[in-house]
Chains A and B, each alone.
Chain A
Amino acid sequence: MPGEIVLPLRGALLFLYLAAAAAPAPARGAVDPANPDWPCIQRKVPEISAGMVWAGPEVQENGRAWKESLRLAELTAKISARRLPIEEAQNEIDRFATDLGRDKNEQLTLLFTGVLQIINAERSEIVAGIERYARRQGALASRIRAATAELNTLRKKQNRSEADAAEIKALEERLLWDTRVFDERQQSLSYVCESPVLLEQRLFALSRRIMSQKSSVAQSPQPVP
C-alpha cells in the first residue's frame, strides 16, 4: 500500500514542521521578542525612515510638496518603480539635477521625499503580506498537528471499523497535501523575506545618487565598480 511507504518519511517531515511551527521563528538566529511571529531572519523594521538613508537636510517625511510639481511627481514615480533598472533611474536623477537652478537642493530633497514615500508604501504592503504568510503557516501547522493526533488515536484503536479505515485514509491524504503545501511555503520563506530588502536597496541607491547631486552635501559618495 503506497501509504505505508510514504508514512515514515511523512512522520519525519512532520516532526520537523511541527518543531518549526510550534515556535514560529526565523530560519536562523534568535527570535525578536517584540515580534515573535515575524518569520524572517531580518529583524522586522516596519518602515524605512529618512535618517536611515539620508544625510542631507531635514526632510518632511509626510510632506506632499513633491506632488505639486508635475515633473517631480512623474520622475518620482518613474525612478521608484522596480521595473526601471537602477542604472537608468540613477541617470534620470543626474539629468534632473543638471537642469536645476538655484533651488537645486530643495528640489532634490523633494525628489528624495517622494521616493521615500512611494517605496515605503510598497514595502509596507510587502511586510504586511509576510505577516499574513506567517499567520497562514501557523494555522496550517495547527491543522497538521490536530490531524496527526487524530490519526494516531485512530491507529491505536482496537477493532477498527470500516468507517475508521476510511477516516484514516482521508486523514493521511489530507496530511500529505497539507505537509506538501507547508513545505513549499517554508522553502519560499527566504525568498519572500528578501522582498523588503530589495526595496531597501533600491531606496538607498537612489538616495545616495540624489545626495551626490546636492551641491552642499558631499556625504555620500558613489560606489566604484
Chain B
Amino acid sequence: MTWPKIMAGALAPLALAAAAAFGGISEVKAFSVYVSNEKDNTISVIDSESLKVVKTLKVGQRPRGILLTQDGSQLLVCASDDDTVQVIDVKTWEFVKELPSGPDPELFILHPSGNPLYIANEDDNLVTVVDIENNKVLAEVPVGVEPEGMGISPDGRVLVNTSETTNMAHFIDTETFEIVGNVLVDSRPRFAEFTADGSQVWVTSEIGGTVSVIDPIAREIIKKIGFEIPGVRPEAIQPVGVRITKDGGRAFVALGPANRVAVVDAKTFEVEKYLLVGQRVWQLAFAPDESLLFTTNGVSNDVSVIDVARLKVVKSIAVGRFPWGLTVSKD
C-alpha cells in the first residue's frame, strides 16, 4: 500500500471527528503550514490537504522564528543573520517590508491583540518591542544573557522571556516594559508557553532536560517534569518546543536529539507516551482544530505529522535543510 492510500485511510476518521467537533460542519477547512529552513534560507509551504510542500520561498539569512499576523495575511520571519524581521504577503509572496528587529532576532511572539511584536535578540541580551503597523520600536527591555523563548499571557499583560545562559524566565509587564520577576529554571531554557487559561506557563530547559511548570502569579515552579526514554541516553533528551491543547488536557514537548515528542497529561504532569518523529525535533504547531500536530526535525530535514487523537506519527514531509520554526494558518 502506498502512503497516500494509508494517509487517506488514516485521515478520513480524523476529518469526520473534526467535523463532528464543529457541530455538523461538513468539511475541515484547508490550511497551510509554513516552515523556516535555517540552512537553506527558505520557507517551505505545506498544504494541509495533500500534506506536501507546494511552495518554497527564498528569504533572508538563517530564518528561525516564524509567525502569521492575526488576520493571517502576512508572514513574519526572523532572518537572524540579516538582523531583521521580514514581512511577506502570503497571497502574492512579495516582501512587504522589514521590521526593525534589533540584532540577531531568534524567536518572537505577537500580543494577543495582534500588535505589538516582542522579539528576543539573542546576541544583544534584549527584548525588542515593535509596533508592526508603523514600524516603530516601542521599547528595548534588557534581559538575561542570550534571550530566546517568548510566551505571552492570554490577556496580553505578561510577557515571559527565557535567557539561555542566565537560566531564567523573566516576567515582563507589557505596559511598563519592566521586568517584574524572575524564576530560575534548569540549564538553557529555550521556550515558554502559557496555557490557554493563563494559569500556568511551561518553560523547557534544553540542557537541564526538564520542563518547569510555573504559576505566573506567584511566579513559582509548581512542577518540574523530567523525561526518561528506554534506550535513550539522558543527555540526548533536550526539551525545546512545547504546545498545550486549548482545553489544557495535554501537552506535547519536543525532545531535540532524542528524536521524540513527549505526550504529557497536563493535569497530572505524567508522561503518557514518547513518539518517534524525526531527528532533532525542535518546534511544534497544532492544526487549527488541534487534530494534527506538526514538528520540525532539524537533522532529518523533514516535518512529522502527528495524529493527536490516536497519538501516532502518520507522515513525514521532506522540507528544506535544518527546518527550525513553523506556524499554521487558520485557513
What is the interface of chain A, defined by CB distance below 8 A to chain B?
Answer: 29-30, 32-34, 43-47, 49-55, 58-59, 61, 197, 200-201, 204-205, 208, 218-225
- With A33-B207, A43-B207, A220-B313 in contact, is A204–B299 under 8 Å at CB? yes
Q: Chain B nearest CB: distance from A86 CB in Å?
A: 12
With A49-B233, A51-B231, A219-B276 in contact, do A224 and B313 touch (Cβ < 8 Å)?
no
Shortest CB distance B321–A (Å): 11
**A52-B258, A55-B276 as given contacts; A205 in contact with B300, CB under 8 Å:** yes
Q: Determine whether the beta carbon of B236 is less than 8 Å from that of A30.
A: no
| B330 is an interface residue with CB less than 8 A from chain A | no
State whether A49 and B232 are in contact (beta carbons under 8 Å apart), knowing that A204-B279, A205-B300, A221-B3 are contacts in the complex.
yes
With A30-B165, A224-B317: A43-B238 Cβ-Cβ less than 8 Å: yes
B257 lies within 8 A of chain A by Cβ: yes
Evaluate contact between A201 and B299: CB separation under 8 angstroms.
yes
Contact check, B314 vs A221: say whether CB atoms are below 8 A apart.
yes
The contact of A29 among B164, B229, B316, B317, by CB within 8 Å, is B164
Taking CB atoms, residues of chain A closer than 8 Å to B316 are 208, 220-224
Residues of A within 8 A of B164 (CB): 29-30
Contact present for A32 and B231 (CB under 8 Å):
no
Counting from the closest, the 3 A-B pairs by CB-CB distance are A51-B231, A51-B232, A55-B276
Min CB distance, A89 to chain B, in Å? 15
B70 close to A (CB within 8 Å): no
- Give me 17 A-to-B residue pairs in the complex whose CB atoms sit less than 8 angstroms apart, sorted by A's number: A29-B146, A30-B207, A32-B207, A43-B206, A43-B235, A49-B231, A49-B236, A51-B229, A51-B260, A52-B260, A59-B231, A200-B299, A204-B259, A205-B300, A208-B316, A219-B312, A221-B315
User: Which single residue of chain B is at the shortest CB-CB distance from A59?
Assistant: B231
Q: Does B170 contact A (CB under 8 A)?
A: no
Residues of A within 8 A of B318 (CB): 223-225
> Which residues of chain A come closer than 8 Å to B236, judged between CB atoms?
45, 49, 52
Q: Do B207 and A224 touch (CB < 8 A)?
A: no
Q: Which residues of B contact A221 (CB under 8 A)?
A: 3, 6, 313-316
Min Cβ gap B258→A in Å is 6
Q: Is the interface of A mostly helix, strand, loop or mixed?
A: loop
Q: Which residue of B lies closest to A198 (CB)?
A: B299
Which residues on the B side are within 8 Å of A222 (C-beta)?
3, 316
Which of chain B's residues 253-277 have a Cβ closer than 8 Å to chain A?
A: 257-260, 276
Query: Which chain B residue shows the least CB distance to A44?
Result: B235
In the bound assembly, the distance between CA atoms of A224 and B316 in angstroms comes to 7
Whether B188 sits at the interface, judged by CB under 8 Å, is yes
Which residues of A sit under 8 angstroms from B302, Cβ to Cβ? 223
| Contact indicator B231/A201 (Cβ below 8 Å) | no
In the complex, A205→B302 CA distance in Å? Answer: 11
Docked pose: A32 CA to B238 CA in angstroms: 12
Known contacts A29-B146, A29-B164, A221-B316, A201 near B276 by CB under 8 Å: no
With A220-B313, A223-B316 known as contacts, the answer to whether A204 contacts B278 (CB < 8 A) is yes
- In the complex, residue of chain A having the shortest beta-carbon distance to the beta carbon of B302: A223
Interface residues as binary, B201-221 with A (CB distance below 8 Å gives 1, 0 otherwise): 000001100000000000000
A59 to B312 Cα, complex, angstroms: 21
Beyond contacts A52-B236, A204-B278: 20 other A-B pairs, Cβ-Cβ < 8 A, are A30-B145, A33-B187, A43-B206, A47-B233, A51-B258, A52-B233, A52-B258, A54-B276, A55-B276, A200-B299, A201-B279, A201-B299, A204-B299, A204-B300, A220-B276, A220-B316, A221-B313, A221-B316, A224-B3, A225-B318
A224 x B315 contact (CB < 8 A): yes
- Render B123-165 as a binary contact track against A, CB cut-off 8 A, 1 for contact: 0000000000000000000000110000000000000000011
Contact A30 B257, beta carbon cutoff 8 Å: no
Question: CB-CB < 8 A to B224: which residues of A?
Answer: none
- Report the minimum CB–CB distance from A38 to chain B (whole Å): 11
Nearest CB on A from B312, distance (A): 8
Could you say which of A45, A51, A197, A201 contacts B235, with CB atoms under 8 Å apart?
Answer: A45
- Say yes or no: B233 contacts A45, CB within 8 Å: yes
With a cutoff of 8 Å between Cβ atoms, the chain B residues found around residue A29 in the complex are 146, 164
Q: Chain A residues with Cβ under 8 A from B314's Cβ?
A: 221
Contact of B146 among A30, A47, A50, A55 (CB under 8 A): A30
| Complex interface: chain B residues within 8 A of A43 (CB) | 206-207, 235, 238, 257
B235: which A residues are within 8 A, CB to CB?
A: 34, 43-46
A116 to chain B, nearest CB (A): 10
**In the complex, B23 has a CB within 8 A of chain A:** no
In the complex, whether B24 has a CB less than 8 A from a CB of chain A is no
Measured between alpha carbons, how far is A55 from B312 in the docked complex, in Å? Answer: 12
* A54, B231: Cα distance in complex, Å: 9
**A207 to B6 alpha-carbon distance, docked (Å):** 20
